[in-house]
Amino acid sequence: MSPHSPTLADVLDGKEVVICAGSGGVGKTTTSAAIAAGLAARGLKVCVLTIDPAKRLADSLGLDELGNDARRVDPRLFEEQGVEITGELWAMMLDPKQTFDELISRQAPDEESRDRVLGNPIYQQISGALAGSQEYMAMEKLFELHTEGDYDMLVLDTPPSRNALDFLEAPRRLTQFIEGKSLRVFMKPTGFAAKVAGRGATVALSVMKRIVGFDLIADLAEFFNAFSGMVDGFQARAKRVNKLLAAPTTCFLVVCGPQGEPIDEAVYFHRKLVEAKLPFGGVIVNKVHYPAEQLRGDDEDLPATLAEKLGDADLAQRVAANFADYQALAERDARNIEHLAREMRATGVIRVPYLDEDVHDLAGLAQINRYLFATGEERVAMAAGRA
Amino acid sequence: MIVTGKGGVGKTTLSVALGMRAAAEGKRTIVCEVAAQENASRMFEHTTVGFHEVELEENLWAISIDPDDSMREYVLLQLKVRAMRDMLFRSRIFNYLAAATPGLKELVTIGKIWELAQLDRKVKSGCKYDTVIVDAPATGHGVGFLQTPRTFANIARVGPIHSQAKTLDNFITDHDNTGVAIVALPEEMPVNESAALERDLVDEVGVAVDRIYLNGLYPERFSKEEAEKLVPLAAEDGAPRAAARAALSEFGRARSQRAQLARLRRRVQAPVKTLPFLFEPDLGPEAARRLSRRLS
């Protein structure tokens, strides 16, 4: 809260990738879009990426639809809201299946291998439908865009998974999944592999056939065989994705809400980031109830004071009761944020207030943007309606 | 009853409240928390809920469904022989498959929910439940989660996995016994998303959406005339100013929320039930209990 605490612009100075992480429902998408807009207003060419079937980013940016290609957001839209975009703001909403298809096309050694994978029924099911593939693809696209180097800054809004950690494991799981090495070896029980694999594996396989059914195992084998020839490429790629995540030019921002549960999750997530040696940049708490300033112990007289000013004792009573409820929430938020800052050893937790208006359009986004890039003192002044 | 909705809308609190309600009606009820996060156990102080059925109060039980534990239990039920299972879990090929196959965690989780709902429980020590309430993962994933059985049934065309995935799909889409509740918030985007979610759940997954809960509705504490009287006060100083500002923002939110409620009602098929915003510091068991009384 000190005026010397770093602002968001300081934290992001010199970064190339910003990853907004946190559990669902804490305003990650809006925050990502507001950060991207703020950086574009500071002259950078920025692209914000989201994987979100609910099309929230498109809503936030006032775009009708987004696709797998980046679209430039019309700077005039922001100008109307008092934000001058001197750089460029681009936005992309990923289609996980399309991203996966593109990845396969790029990695396949030849057209035949590519078609074999794309045409495989298991691939078709898992690439689009199953939970989990979204995380894989978010990291993939981020890496691809970073490699192409067309933008000064990439802002990733992580998928809305319940567990914010899912996507941290994505590169490793992607490799593991594509590899299928052990399975392919075991699938040729008559050949050389069977001799190498030994009896234990053969028994394991026969047990698995009983549970899973031979049909599925055979299909899986065909699926993984189709991937052969791409494995090395995928492994190398996953390594580079991991390197990008841990690079000093990358910055993880933890986004959360002020209630006990989101705060606990943010603390947990921060710990995991530190354990994984990933660069933690700071924490943003959304929808905070700011406490009223400068109350000089005249709270007890408040109903009377209000009654006198309003000439309506009943209304005064209700205004006072409502105020007490609000102050209780503000105290809770302050307590939770203090706990959060202590646990993370974070200086300058960015607190975005619970705004009177529901944030769903560019006006709301511009307002969030002003809070995000302000100093702690400026935020307090803004929340009190003085700036 | 499967409780779904986007993150942070209060699915866990509502799931527990629904559980309390059913238990109070004399139904033996279990609340299932999906994924090993134990949100629900926050709701019950002094009780750690893990992968076993814990009795919280009369008729009310809870379990946190961990996919790895579900997988172990499932395999043991299939194999009957513990030594064989242990061997399987040690084998690289199995661990590879279990970790790498996307959606397998979701499948075994739904499998465990199905098992809990059976009158003839597969788990020997398990008791029968009249009501099983599932605190489902946040959407974005919600539809994917419920679609997992069908996806697996399509991948495995024949064999045990196929028939079991089919059983789970039938279980989820059984309109007589399985219902879905969507939890929404009275804000623009959550309302849009809830309407889209209902459409996807009905059209794509084929489940019955029984009810939509609009959570966190502010009370209408002030009339328009009263709000106008407060405007000059908000320009003054000190505590009256802060109190007037708080009242005006409550008035504004309560009004915009009513507009969102009307929008939601226009855009969804299922009946909408509103739940009040709870002005309390932390949403513990008492909050759930108070909510449960509103769920008649």
pLDDT in tens, A48-71: 998 765 566 676 676 766 677 888
Note the pLDDT tens digit of each residue in B140-149.
Answer: 555 778 888 8
- Residues B169, B159: Cα–Cα separation, whole Å: 16
pLDDT at A45: 97
Domain boundaries, chain B: 2-218+268-295
A303 in B contact zone (CB under 8 Å): no
Q: Hey, of A55, A130, A314, which one would you mutate to test binding to chain B, going by the most B CBs within 10 A of its CB?
A: A130
Mean pLDDT of all residues in B173-186: 92
Query: Do residues A159 and B134 lie in contact, with contact meaning Cβ atoms separated by under 8 Å?
Result: no
* A180–B100 C-beta distance less than 8 A: yes
Say if residue A190's pLDDT is above 50: no
The number of beta carbons lying within 10 Å of the beta carbon of residue B249 is 19
- The predicted complex's ipTM stands at 0.80
Note the pLDDT tens digit of each residue in A91-146.
Answer: 988 877 788 888 888 888 888 888 888 887 777 766 654 445 677 778 888 999 99
Nearest Cβ partner for A322 among B87, B151, B250:
B250
Q: pTM score, two decimals?
A: 0.82
Note the pLDDT tens digit of each residue in A317-370.
Answer: 999 999 989 888 899 999 999 999 999 887 778 999 888 777 777 888 888 899
pLDDT at A214: 62
pLDDT at B81: 72
H helix intervals, B173-284? 188-200, 224-230, 238-267
pLDDT at A3: 44
pLDDT at A297: 52
| Per-chain mean pLDDT for chain A | 79
The number of beta carbons lying within 10 Å of the beta carbon of residue A199 is 8
What is the C-alpha R_g of chain B? 22
Sheet holding A71-72, edge to edge: A71-72, A88-93, A45-50, A153-157, A17-21, A250-256, A280-288, A350-353
Say if residue A162's pLDDT is above 70: no
pLDDT at A197: 46
DSSP annotation of A73: P
Rounding to the nearest 10 degrees, give the CA dihedral for residues B21, B25, B30, B33: -10
Say if residue A165's pLDDT is above 70: no
Confidence band, pLDDT 50/70/90 cuts, at residue B104: confident
Say if residue B79's pLDDT is above 80: no
Q: Which of A342-346, B150-154, B217-221 has the highest mean pLDDT?
A: B217-221
Per CATH, the number for B2-218+268-295 is 3.40.50.300
A281 in B contact zone (CB under 8 Å): no
- Residues A267, A167: Cα–Cα separation, whole Å: 17
pLDDT at A95: 77
**Residue of higher predicted confidence among B272 and B91:** B272
- Name the strand (E) or helix (H) holding A214: helix A214-227
**Residue of chain B whose Cα is closest to the Cα of A26:** B8
pLDDT at B96: 65
Give the pair of three-digit tokens for residue A68.
């797998």
Confidence band, pLDDT 50/70/90 cuts, at residue A192: very low
Confidence band, pLDDT 50/70/90 cuts, at residue B182: very high
Measure A96 CA to nearest chain B CA, in Å: 12
Confidence band, pLDDT 50/70/90 cuts, at residue A180: low
Confidence band, pLDDT 50/70/90 cuts, at residue B77: confident
Confidence band, pLDDT 50/70/90 cuts, at residue A193: very low
**Residue of chain B whose Cα is closest to the Cα of A204:** B88
* B155–A122 C-beta distance less than 8 A: yes
pLDDT at B38: 45
Among the residue ranges A25-39, A203-217, B170-184, the one predicted with the least confidence is A203-217
Return the beta strands (E) in A105-218 as ranges: 153-157
Mean pLDDT of all residues in A181-194: 47
Say if residue B37's pLDDT is above 60: no
Among the residue ranges A164-173, A187-196, A205-214, B128-137, the one predicted with the least confidence is A187-196
**Residue of chain A whose Cα is closest to the Cα of B161:** A212
Q: Which long-range contacts (CB under 8 A, 24 or more apart) does B79-82 make?
A: B79/A207, B79/A210, B79/A211
Q: Which residues of B touch A257 (CB under 8 A)?
A: 8
